[in-house]
Chain A
Amino acid sequence: MSSLTPLSQLLEAVFFAASRPLTVEELGALDPDASGADVRTAIDQLREHYDFDGHAVEVVELAGGWQVLTRASFAAAVERSQAAQRQPRLSAATLESLATIAYRQPVGRAEIEEIRGVNSGGVLRTLQERGLIEVVGRSEGLGRPLLYGTTPLFLELLGLNDLADLPRAEELTIALQPHQVAPDATDDGAYASVEEG
């Protein structure tokens, strides 16, 4: 493998100085002569170099940008070294609220509570403080309640590039349309089509 090109070197330096994904625009601003295509080519070169030489880090596309991360196979080593803190696990309540917001956004607190059947004020505040959700507007409904949506940090935390990478409804065991219509009223008690988990 040959040496790195000047632009891949620049990118490597900046990736090593950042702990969040950087967009192609941000990376392009490093060199006024570099086009978006140049940046993409340099990213590919860096990635191939890391793969080819067996580096413990890799270039990952994440939350709409690019970031260098350690490979998953070195997780145990990093943990053993105690040189870095592992991300705390998200609680079930947090994940359920996040799931509801991610799929229904923009969505109000009442709808989240309706789906989870439990008061969600505390969870929403925590999610907002952690920067995983944000207020994206207000509903037109009574009292004009706040509407929530997920942030890029949410994608980062899940290792997703885009909201479209979330598991799709068809992949789920129970296929359910959002805001499903009432089942046929004439067909009393016949919920045969319902799949039990």
Chain B
Amino acid sequence: MARITYMQAINDALAQEMERDETVVVFGEDNVGGTGSPGEMDAWGGVMGVTKGLYGKFPNQIFDTPISESAFIGAAAGAACSGLRPVAELMFVDFMGVCFDQIFNQAAKFKYMFGGKAKTPMVIRTMYGAGIRAASQHSQALYPLFTHIPGLKVVVPSTPYDAKGLMIASIRDDDPVIFFENKVLYAVEGEVPDEAYAIPLGEAEIVREGDDVTIVAIGRMVSMAEQAAADLSSDGIEVEIVDPRTLSPLDTDTIYESVENTGRLVVVDEANPRCSMASDIASLVAQNCFEHLKAAPQMVTAPHAPPPFSPSLEDLYVPDPEKVADAVRKTVGQGVAS
């Protein structure tokens, strides 16, 4: 057990799985960094450094790609069908638009279309979220788009511990998994076991217990919920925070159980609101816990707008502890703080 960052936790998971199984290969743009260049190899280790150092240990299992996401994400699918367990990187999830076909019509559907005969064990690592002033085309969340698609598993870890355990589970899974890494969380530290461990896909975690309101929060939003919880607690409101950890499959049981106890729901989702995870979870709860609900479910999301560049606007764009607390207060009938 050591205190390491979310980024290091992912790096460790990749290293341990590459070590364990030489059919695990890792590739993407500058995942090594320096291929063909006159200077040093492993110059980048990914644009944020997540794969840094893997090249030294596994020179035959990690490679760089040309800028051709359709080709190399599709190659991950083809490789997964023919003996490898590839981990391909889509640098920012915002780039999905140039390669989505290979993800949702190819990899996701092989097993079903082929009557169960295909196995497509691949992971797409991708970075999401606002907060680093990267503007409209480098700051989106977009996991609702992947969650909509049958055949894809969607993972959004919120802590270093989860990042490692979920990455290992994702690599070992036989379905295509989209693994969402939050760029603001990379630097966050937490206790992480040294050895390999897998956190089953489809198991939510109760991050905080409380009897008054259930908050379901995703990825970086878990910390927003935690900050709000501290505040609310001093007002006598005890929230329960559920982190689904995987959005597909979704652990509805844990969510329903919590809402059955609290009778109140707030979903905190960094994505845009329409056809979002927030709406997905709110509608599920409305359908399945109706008789337990004491108040209207609330959603706290980004507005229906692209992420803006300007720091002062971006800071307003992302749900923050205050907005979460307001939504919680609304469900308990205390009105919005002014």
B is a partner of A: no
Contact residues of A with B, CB < 8 Å?
none
Interface residues, chain B, with chain A CB atoms under 8 Å away: none
